Amino acid sequence: MNQVGEPEKTGMVDRLSYFVDRLARFLITVMMAAMVLIILFGVFNRFLFKLPVSWTEEVAKYLLIWVSMLGSAVAIRIGAHVGVGLLVTRLGEKKRNLISWINQVLIMIFIISLVLLGMKLCVREIDQMGYATRISMFYPFLAIPAGCLMIIVQLLYLMKMLYKKQSPPLGY
């Protein structure tokens, strides 16, 4: 452990997980700030100046989709997703580890399928345009495979921790 409580980033998976986590947190911060500013702009124009701007709601929705997908990757790394541990905590260590492995593998299979289906959706909807912004729907839908790829990196990090019998983040 280093001074801030982070595990040492010695392996490739550790470094990649750390980089993906920091990138996701940065992008979430920028997108949340942009979302707040855009929504405030839309509200002020609508109620103060009586000039509604049609694109603000659409852009805010797209940013929210991106923030949700990137936030899922951050939540995986820190163990903040909701889980039911009442029964698992009463099991022995070997059974608990087995259930953790099964859980991680099933989540990985699901996320990989989301990456593949998300890319298929992006390609299928590349010619569809947003109703107000007229941007390709490829970009909002790209949040699904991009966020899921970040989740895969964090799941590999958790699997490495399980393999090395290190304590996983809070929430696992």
Which single residue is written with the structure tokens 């259930």? 99
Q: What pLDDT is recorded for position 84?
A: 65
**Distance between CA atoms of 153 and 158, rounded to whole angstroms?**
9
Confidence of residue 1 (pLDDT cuts 50, 70, 90): very low
pLDDT at 3 over 60: no
Q: Taking Cα atoms as reference points, which of 23, 24, 21 lies closest to residue 9? A: 21
Greater model confidence, 146 or 164: 146
| Amino acid, res. 58 | E
Cβ-based burial of 155 (10 A; exposed 0-12, middle 13-18, buried ≥19): buried
**Distance between CA atoms of 129 and 73, rounded to whole angstroms?**
28
Confidence of residue 29 (pLDDT cuts 50, 70, 90): very high
pTM of the model as a whole? 0.85
Domain boundaries, the chain: 12-163
Q: What is the pLDDT of residues 69-80, one digit of tens each?
A: 999 999 998 877
> Looking at residues 95-108, what average pLDDT do you find?
88
Q: What is the pLDDT of residues 44-87, one digit of tens each?
A: 998 888 888 889 999 999 999 999 999 999 999 887 777 766 77
Cβ-based burial of 131 (10 A; exposed 0-12, middle 13-18, buried ≥19): exposed
